[in-house]
Amino acid sequence: MGKTLSYRPRPGEIPTSPGVYRFRDENARVLYVGKAKNLRARLSNYFAPLPSLHERTRRMVTTARSVEWTVVGSDIDALQLEYTWIKEFEPPFNVKFRDDKTYPYLAVTLADEAPRVLVTRNPRIRGAKYFGPYPKIWAVHETIDLMIKAFPIRTCSDSSYKRAMQSGRPCFPGQIGRCGGPCSGRVTIEEHRAMVQDFVSFLNGNDKRFVTEATKKMREAAEVQDYEAAARYRDRLQALEAVLDKSAVVLKDSVDADLFGLAHDELSAAVQQFIVRGGRIRGVRSWTVDKELDLSTAELVDSVLQRAYDSGGVVDIPKEILVPELPEDATELETWLAGLRGKGKVRVHTAQRGEKAALMQTAVINAKNSLMLYKTRRSADFVARSQALTDIQTAIGMEQAPLRIECFDVSHLSGTNIVASMVVFEDGLPRKDQYRRFSIAESTDDTESIYQVLSRRLAYLSEPEAGEEGDTAPDTDSAIENVAKPRKFAYPPQLLIVDGGQPQVQAARRALLESGRADIQLVGMAKRLEEIWLPDSDYPVILPRNSEALFLLQRVRDEAHRFAITYQRTKRRADISSVLADIPGLGPARVKSLLRHFGSVAKLKQATPDAITEVAGIGPALATAIHAQLNSR
């Protein structure tokens, strides 16, 4: 692989103006679309020496065969053109949205002679006012049922309304009191339109006015003993309060905002949008994103906002949008969104403290749960798992699919408490009863640790009944203890994965060769770039970012990392407890109090004797002994 690209523009050819650029492959297919305030500065990053590029960026620029750019008049024009081209060309290296749900909305057909309210998934009804989206369609119907008790507007279809107006007989919903349109004969078209405006105003967040008005009229009617009118206002008030009870109060009444919570890893991202109107959550929307290039949270926010408001005018754009991090072009985004909104300014910002920050944290938690659920469901898909195993077999040149995969990871704290983990996946699913933990007494570095652990594990393939001191029990919540290994520990894997790059792979290969197990396929998986390293290759295998194969390998590697970290922390706690327990006068209760007070061993170690005496039951002499013991290690 050369260190430069043949299609790199000559110095001075790229303008310094704002614009949009496109990378194309040999068939002229658009691979990636991006925008820049300074095209020369941005594109120069892609044409840096190839070894210095991020692995995924390197794959994109080496796949491409040409780059072209279009200069525009302003940063806003660049944002709009990028948005248009991404929709038109659907470039494979841009963010992929997996929002396959069509959300139900509550719509009011304001362009009709007698507007009606309906539930719809159609985002392009002419002149309609939309509310939502709602997570469930029954929630929309429930809201309408409550609302028409307070604002009896038309609910019948256009054909029923036309037939009723021509015949002079109310439509069927009107006959049973479920439609208050002009065809019922109770109101005129003008009076009906006034009720529609009140209906829309209430859902827009102006709810307090109607509640206050209904309460006042109910009392006035009761005072003059007009009990029938008082009963009508009472029913209306109850309906209004029922609607308000369905939407949680989260912010001040004057707040109209959209909040976006994000959670992402190397492959995917989940977005949670809270639609707040009048201080209440009026709608919720969530979707997942497949990431091809390595994107930061701020870069994801840019794409998410464009996606969220790409709805043909369905979603109202509020004057305030809260995001986890501000993108680089936040100012241009605000101008673009204000243009879509059509009135006033739009402010995109982060929440630093208070109720908005708390709500943002809730949105982030929901996004994390959505991402976890997405990954869990994807892992549970038998077809996806089968495809993943087949793709792994093809990608790394195995003779058969790896039905049993074992992955190893090493964890330590500054060279102390060195441990390793082994996790097992069979048919793409974890076998936690076959997980193993390893304690490593001495090691020079991670590669030496990998060699030691693999040597110990591979020994069981020739001596299945042998036990070895230091290898511990499966993944359980019970105390760790040395046990003899069952025969199932002697099952050989078809694929052996180590967490790391070529150095770790070569160390594992040495252990395989010494054990005589040349029949086991070995790969390494580096976390930062998600590339797959083979023992005999100078360059990694790059799997597509949205492939089931990479998803499975990532899950296996992350599980090994989690298991190793858990064991390392357990040993660390046991180690520090034993050190403190050697101090006369310091029992388990006081050790627990110390760790609870300081939060971590590192903070306890940094504490002065005076600070240690702040813990209940710790005197000056004992505090001095604790400080001396910890700092002598």
Residue 333: which CATH number?
Answer: 3.30.420
CA 391 to the chain's CA centroid: 25
* DSSP 8-state secondary structure symbol assigned to residue 280: E
Query: DSSP string covering 311-377, please?
Result: STT-S---SEEE-SS--TTHHHHHHHHHHHH-SS--EEE---SHHHHHHHHHHHHHHHHHHHHHHHH
Residues 145 and 192 in one domain: yes
> Which residues is 130 bridged to in the sheet?
107
Q: Is the CB of residue 247 less than 8 Å from the CB of residue 282? A: yes
Phi, psi of 105, rounded to the nearest 5 degrees: -125, 155
Task: Copy the structure tokens of residue 288.
Answer: 């997942």
Cα–Cα dist 280/255, whole Å: 8
Cα–Cα dist 200/197, whole Å: 5
Task: Copy the structure tokens of residue 209.
Answer: 């006015």
Q: Is the CB of residue 553 less than 8 Å from the CB of residue 533? A: no
Residue 139: what pLDDT? 63
Sign of CA dihedral 621, 627, 631, 633: positive
In a domain, 100, yes or no: no
* Percent of all residues in the chain with a pLDDT value above 70, rounded to a whole number: 79
In a domain, 13, yes or no: no
Within 207-322, where are the H helices?
A: 207-223, 227-246, 297-308
Residue 432: band (very low, low, confident or very high) from pLDDT cuts 50, 70, 90? confident
Q: Is 628 exposed, middle or buried (0-12, 13-18, 19+ CB in 10 A)?
A: exposed
Residues 279 and 422 in one domain: no
Residue 23: what pLDDT? 92
Residues 434 and 521 in one domain: yes
Cα–Cα dist 236/213, whole Å: 10
Residue 601: what pLDDT? 65
In a domain, 163, yes or no: yes
Residue 85: what pLDDT? 82
In a domain, 12, yes or no: no
543: alpha, beta or left? (left if phi > 0; alpha if psi -120 to 50): beta
In a domain, 591, yes or no: yes
Residues 552 and 586 in one domain: no
Residues 36 and 157 in one domain: no
* 280-299 tens-digit pLDDT: 777 777 788 777 666 778 88
Mention every residue, 6+ apart, whose C-beta is less than 8 A from residue 338: 344, 345, 346
Residue 337: what pLDDT? 86
pLDDT above 50: residue 468: no
Residue 591: what pLDDT? 75
Residues 231 and 265 in one domain: no
Q: Which of 139, 1, 9 is nearest to 58 (CA)?
A: 1
At which residue do the structure tokens 């390494």 appear?
A: 524
Last residue of a domain, one of 64, 94, 124: 94
Residue 93: what pLDDT? 82
Query: DSSP string covering 374-440, please?
Result: HHHHHHH-HHHHHHHHHHHHHHHT-SS--SEEEEEEEEEETTEEEEEEEEEEETTEE-GGG-EEEE-
In a domain, 577, yes or no: no
Last residue of a domain, one of 222, 246, 270: 246
| Lowest-confidence segment of 15-24, 67-76, 133-142, 341-350 by average pLDDT | 133-142
Q: Is the CB of residue 360 less than 8 Å from the CB of residue 324? A: yes
Cα–Cα dist 534/540, whole Å: 7
CA atoms within 13 A on the CB side of 537: 14
C-alpha torsion angle, residues 459, 465, 469, 475 (rounded to 10) = 90
Sign of CA dihedral 69, 70, 73, 75: negative
pLDDT above 60: residue 155: yes
Residue 589: what pLDDT? 76
Helices (H) and strands (E) counted in the chain, each on its own, are 20, 20
Structural domain count, the chain: 5
Q: Is the CB of residue 132 less than 8 Å from the CB of residue 104? A: yes
> Which residues is 117 bridged to in the sheet?
108
pLDDT above 80: residue 400: yes
* Average pLDDT rounded to a whole number, residues 588-599: 75
Domain of 79, in residue numbers? 19-94
In total, the chain counts a number of residues equal to 633
pLDDT above 80: residue 17: yes
Residue 244: what pLDDT? 58
Residues 364 and 284 in one domain: yes
Whether cis (ω within 30° of 0) applies to the bond prior to 92 is no
At which residue do the structure tokens 């992955």 appear?
A: 407
Q: Is the CB of residue 53 less than 8 Å from the CB of residue 8? A: no
Q: Is 128 exposed, middle or buried (0-12, 13-18, 19+ CB in 10 A)?
A: buried
Last residue of a domain, one of 377, 399, 421: 377
Residues 177 and 56 in one domain: no
Cα–Cα dist 94/100, whole Å: 18
Residue 407: what pLDDT? 92
CATH number at residue 26: 3.40.1440.10
Residue 71: what pLDDT? 83
Residue 470: band (very low, low, confident or very high) from pLDDT cuts 50, 70, 90? very low
Q: Is the CB of residue 594 less than 8 Å from the CB of residue 437? A: no
Residue 136: what pLDDT? 62
Residue 151: what pLDDT? 76
Cα–Cα dist 586/416, whole Å: 24
Mention every residue, 6+ apart, whose C-beta is less than 8 A from residue 310: 83, 87
159: alpha, beta or left? (left if phi > 0; alpha if psi -120 to 50): alpha
Write down the mean pLDDT value for the chain. 77
User: How many CB atoms lie under 10 A from the CB of residue 245?
Assistant: 10
Phi, psi of 619, rounded to the nearest 5 degrees: -90, 175
* Percent of all residues in the chain with a pLDDT value above 90, rounded to a whole number: 1
CATH number at residue 519: 3.30.420.340
Q: Is the CB of residue 239 less than 8 Å from the CB of residue 147? A: yes
In a domain, 557, yes or no: yes
- Per-residue CA distances from 339 to 54, 161, 335, 557 (Å): 36, 37, 6, 46
Sign of CA dihedral 93, 95, 98, 104: negative
442 vs 468: which has the higher pLDDT: 442
* 91-139 tens-digit pLDDT: 888 876 655 456 677 888 888 888 888 888 777 788 888 876 666 676 6
Burial 216-232 (b: 16+ CB within 10 A, else e): ebbeebeeeeeeeebee
373 vs 421: which has the higher pLDDT: 421
Cα–Cα dist 294/539, whole Å: 19
* Average pLDDT rounded to a whole number, residues 327-346: 84
Residues 389 and 373 in one domain: no
Residues 451 and 553 in one domain: yes
Residues 160 and 268 in one domain: no
Residue 480: what pLDDT? 36
Which secondary structure element, helix H or strand E, spans residue 1, and what is its range? none
pLDDT above 60: residue 229: yes
Sign of CA dihedral 219, 224, 225, 230: negative
Residue 345: band (very low, low, confident or very high) from pLDDT cuts 50, 70, 90? confident
Sign of CA dihedral 465, 467, 473, 479: positive
* 523-581 tens-digit pLDDT: 888 765 677 888 888 778 878 766 788 888 888 888 888 888 877 777 666 555 555 66
pLDDT above 60: residue 247: no
Residue 310: what pLDDT? 67
CA 631 to the chain's CA centroid: 42
Residue 279: what pLDDT? 74
Query: Amino acid identity, residue 403?
Result: L
Residue 83: what pLDDT? 77
Residues 406 and 501 in one domain: yes
Q: Is the CB of residue 55 less than 8 Å from the CB of residue 540? A: yes
At which residue do the structure tokens 């009011």 appear?
A: 108
* 492-521 tens-digit pLDDT: 888 998 888 888 888 888 888 888 888 888
Residue 365: band (very low, low, confident or very high) from pLDDT cuts 50, 70, 90? confident
432 vs 143: which has the higher pLDDT: 432
In a domain, 271, yes or no: yes
Q: Which of 536, 515, 51 is nearest to 523 (CA)?
A: 536
Residue 476: what pLDDT? 44
Strand 495-499 versus strand 404-413 pairing type: parallel
Query: DSSP string covering 381-393, please?
Result: -HHHHHHHHHHHH
Residue 466: what pLDDT? 42
